Amino acid sequence: MYGIDILVKEHDAILRMAKVMRNASLHVMNGGELVVADFDAMVDFVRNYADKHHHKKEENLLFDFMVKELGSVGKNLVTHGMLVEHDLGRLHMTDLEQALRAYEEDNTNTGAKLDIIVNTTAYTYLITRHATKENEVVFTFGEKNLKKESLVFIDEQTKILEEDGEKEGVQSKYLGILQRLEDKYR
């Protein structure tokens, strides 16, 4: 179905960014320059593409119907699984941003440098496991068990959100950031 195909496609971009984040951390570990603006761009991507653009569709559409229609299994999978992981990702971005501001103020602050690398790489582990679980288990379970009319509604609303995003230039902006960082950190 369209609504899930879009989410899976977005996972591809998010996982490409996870690879970039790991490579940029490795670059710093190997003595390369820590370019604060690049890490800020990663935070921007995670917050506005992975979280706002992508997680918003999961939380407000597919997961919302799964909680309402799929009993305790749906509720546990979403509320105690996926949503908790979305929050953990947000926490990593808050901590990463704080560390970036501290490092910007004093680039001899090795504690801040450590926190940048830790939160960047921890996020990549979290989001890789999370997106894989959604692709292989959660989305399949939802698609198989939700009411037909709910799936149709999800498709329709996803289409509207995608068009809104395109009007605002969200997809092109963030896929552009991804491409630029991917070319730099490969």
For the bound state, the minimum distance from the C-beta of residue 88 to Fe ion, rounded and expressed in Å, comes to 11
Residues 31-90 that bind Fe ion (CB under 5 A): 58
How many helices (H) does the chain have, and how many strands (E)?
10, 0
Q: Which two tokens stand for residue 157?
A: 């609303």
For the bound state, the minimum distance from the C-beta of residue 63 to Fe ion, rounded and expressed in Å, comes to 8
User: Count of residues binding Fe ion (CB under 5 A)?
Assistant: 2
Distances (CA, A) of 91 to 35, 46, 102, 114: 22, 12, 17, 16
Toward Fe ion, which CB reaches closer, 58 or 115? 58
Q: Is 146 helix (H, G, I), strand (E, B) or coil?
A: coil
Residues 109-148 that bind Fe ion (CB under 5 A): 134
Cβ burial 78-98 (10 Å sphere, 16+ → b, else e): beebbbebbeebeebbebbbe
For the bound state, the minimum distance from the C-beta of residue 30 to Fe ion, rounded and expressed in Å, comes to 31
Toward Fe ion, which CB reaches closer, 116 or 131? 131
Toward Fe ion, which CB reaches closer, 43 or 131? 131
Toward Fe ion, which CB reaches closer, 99 or 178? 178
For the bound state, the minimum distance from the C-beta of residue 83 to Fe ion, rounded and expressed in Å, comes to 8
C-alpha span between 84 and 44 (Å, rounded): 21
Residue ranges in contact with Fe ion by CB under 5 A: 58, 134
